[in-house]
Amino acid sequence: MPTTPLIIRLATPVDVPTIAKFNTAMAHETEDKKLDPETITAGVTSLFQHPELGFYLVAEQDDTVLASLMITTEWSDWRNGIFWWIQSVYVIPEARRQGIFTRLYQHIEKLASADPRICGFRLYVEQENQVAQSTYRSLGMQATHYKLFEKLKA
């Protein structure tokens, strides 16, 4: 039984190993991908070195990080504002379905309400992940009519 309240905070470089571990687990669970440990650790570290690209939040209880997510930005000329993209969401298995993502999302909403440049939130989700989609809908998010395309450099 937890003895302290859940704390949502900005991640710091001390959290790099945990976030890298979470991202590795998430890639394996959701896409059956094995991430290179050096690459993912460098990628997480790089965001702390370039805060203009985004930031991480973590949810912590009893000095244990239970969840993390990353926010990156997208400029919208149509809205003259910034979308925050919610990415790399991970909650440890034993802490799932306890409202931790909801608390993280509410924290994002609070941060965005203090910044008039933020015009909304976006995220992408696996088409088969109905549980996550239900959670996002319950928070007021809607599926868009856009389909995501990408091309990775060789």
The CATH number given to whatever domain includes residue 104 is: 3.40.630.30
Residue 152 domain-assigned (yes or no): no
pLDDT tens readout for residues 69-86? 999 999 999 999 999 999
Domain that residue 16 falls in: 7-138
Residue 145 domain-assigned (yes or no): no
Residue 71 domain-assigned (yes or no): yes
Residue 153 domain-assigned (yes or no): no
Q: What residue type is 126 in one-letter code? A: E
Residue 104 domain-assigned (yes or no): yes
Residue 116 domain-assigned (yes or no): yes
Residue 82 domain-assigned (yes or no): yes
Q: Read off the pLDDT band of 2 (50, 70, 90).
A: low
Q: Read off the pLDDT band of 9 (50, 70, 90).
A: very high
Contacts of 146 (CB under 8 A, 6+ apart): none
Q: How many angstroms separate the CA atoms of 83 and 34, rounded?
A: 29
pLDDT tens readout for residues 31-74? 889 999 999 999 999 999 999 999 999 999 999 999 999 999 99
CA angle 30, 33, 89 (to 5 degrees): 40
Q: Into how many domains does the chain fold?
A: 1
Residue 14 domain-assigned (yes or no): yes
